[in-house]
Amino acid sequence: MAKFDQTVTFRKAEVPGPHRAIVFIHGGAWIDPSNTPHDFDQLSKHLLDISNSQLPFSLYAVEYRLSPEYQHPIHIQDVIDNLAQLIQQEQIDELNLLGHSVGATLCWQILSLDSSIDFVEPSQLQLVRSKLKRCYLTDGIYSLKELLKEYPSYDYFVSKAFSKVDDYDDPRGSEIDSSLSPVIYVIHSYQDELLSLRQSNYFCAVLQELQQPYQVYLDDLGKHNDVYENLKLAQYVLYTMMR
């Protein structure tokens, strides 16, 4: 059973026209209970402050079960299940995802999973994809093999989340559903002490191979767990959402 009851609503917009929403997906290496949907309390506040509380879209965050009690694919199953339920319950017309760290990993899985894969409900995945407009991938993990080459010690959490590394589909060799046209934003903080630019650079190279349009935002956004509270990130998201 997915944790839909732990979905957090930061703001429910009441404006005429289509219901636009940003949904946050937290990180925490698939294992850290201290990372929750409330990681985005401060970012939500920034978005409201800089828009003078006139934000024309709703703000939510979804939860998923953690390892080692639960392993892949339960994380992505929960996220897709919760997003599908949220879309239906709140009648969301436009979905914009912002994932931090493995939250970005989960966003990429939503974009690239084979819709015929047996561990995801196809109708739920299709519903989520049909509403998806933008994906903000922030200080993300995209390749487990590249991650463990650079940081062998990170196997302490990868091995808890995956029975084997090959259970995770590396971006190189993946495809994005040709019917999708989301705008992908690859965001990374120069001050991230847990992930170098190697992951984001690798991912950008894959997007180029796929001839997938994307935009990059590199800046001093603080250390790894400061990024999702950073005012500059909120300003960037609001600017790109309002264009």
The single residue of 78, 81, 139, 192 carrying the catalytic annotation is 192
Report pLDDT for 1: 42
CA atoms within 13 A on the CB side of 239: 8
pLDDT for residue 30: 97
The verdict on whether 169 is a catalytic residue reads no
pLDDT at residue 172, rounded to an integer: 74
**Could you list the mean pLDDT of each consecutive 10-residue stretch along the chain, which spans 243 residues?**
68 91 98 96 97 93 96 95 96 97 96 81 93 97 96 97 88 69 94 97 93 95 98 97 89
How far is 198 from 114, CA to CA, in rounded Å? 26
**Host H or E run for residue 170:** none
To the query of whether residue 38 is one of the catalytic residues in this protein, the response is: no
- Dihedral angle over CA of 148, 139, 95, 166, nearest 10: 0
Q: What angle do CA 199, 109, 177 make, to 5 degrees?
A: 110
Catalytic pick from 101, 143, 189, 200? 101
- Residue 59: which of 98, 28, 85, 110 has the closest Cα? 98
Q: What pLDDT is stored for residue 119 in this prediction?
A: 84
43: tokens are 């970012």
* Spatial CA neighbour of 195 closest among 141, 157, 153: 141
Q: Is 101 a catalytic residue?
A: yes
Residues 6+ apart with CB under 8 A from 235: 46, 50
Fold of 4-242: Rossmann fold (3.40.50)
How far apart CA 78 and CA 80 sit, in angstroms, is 6
pTM (two decimals):
0.95
pLDDT at position 3 is: 46
User: For the chain, which residues make up each domain, given as ranges?
Assistant: 4-242
